[in-house]
Amino acid sequence: MSLIEKVPANTLLKIEEDIKKNDLGKAATYPNELELRRKLGDIYYALKYPSMAGRYWYLEQNKTPEMEHACIEFEKTMGNNPFQIVRALKFKGDKEILNDLKFSENFSPVQRKVTEKLLEEPDDSVFDKLLVVGCLSVLVGTIVFAVIGVYSFVKWLM
């Protein structure tokens, strides 16, 4: 019995509906569950969506030839851009899980770069810092203008 036969029919229909709506990030809900990602890859492959299967199989340790082909298809859909691949993988789980995987020595340059990016500690980007400063500035400005407005209103009443 194949994995696809074990999946309830309503689950397959839901996945097909999600694909039509272009809502394809279900595995990101459980970022540490590599087993779930593998199963989702199996389902997408059975539904004839190899690039989506490659997305979920990308972190598999022992890839079959079908998995490797699907991962290459996924890379192509991401323009072989490691940054886009990392974003599409949406892996925000425990880095130890990635360290425990023993990735193949015959990685492509793209796969090496993706692996490096996944294992890097995320830097606080300038954009993130500016966003925090901007939000705080808006909050402080709102409070200041509210106090000035209340003061002006009370002064006007007197």
Whether the per-residue pLDDT at 101 is higher than 70: the answer is: no
pLDDT at 122 over 50: yes
pTM over 0.75: no
Taking residues 122-126, report their average pLDDT. 63
The count of residues in the chain is: 158
Average per-residue pLDDT for the chain: 77
Confidence of residue 3 (pLDDT cuts 50, 70, 90): very low
